[in-house]
Amino acid sequence: STIDYNTYIRYPSLVSIGEHTTINSGCSFLPSIHYRYVEIVIGNHVAVAPDVCFIAVGHEYKRLNLPVTAASVKVGDYVWIGAKSIILPGVTIGEGAVVAAGSVVTKDVPAYTVVGGCPARVIKPREVIK
């Protein structure tokens, strides 16, 4: 696998990246030190474009003291995530999915679909040529 320059990985022990995966420049991986079981897992043969942000930690906005919340982020094999996309806590991106550039992924992405937008929505199925 390849991790390009200017990639930020906070708490590397909570991030795993599979084989034959490319992480482009400027990406961020933000798990939580408060919840050691919450991790960011990137599969095999994944293409991550520049400036993608994976966020597994946040705050409970309904409470004034903003307690920390966290949920794992998982990316399946053969996924392509477009530039400047944001993947939020608790999201699982299914195998073979494509996330269009600039998307904000707030919910799970089904396998072999193309999603895009803010919030990301299914655009169409991904047709795979073998």
Residues annotated as part of the active site: 59
Q: Assign 71 to helix, strand or coil.
A: coil
Kindly give the pairing relationship between strand 92-93 and strand 73-75: parallel
| Cβ atoms 48, 67 nearer than 8 A | no
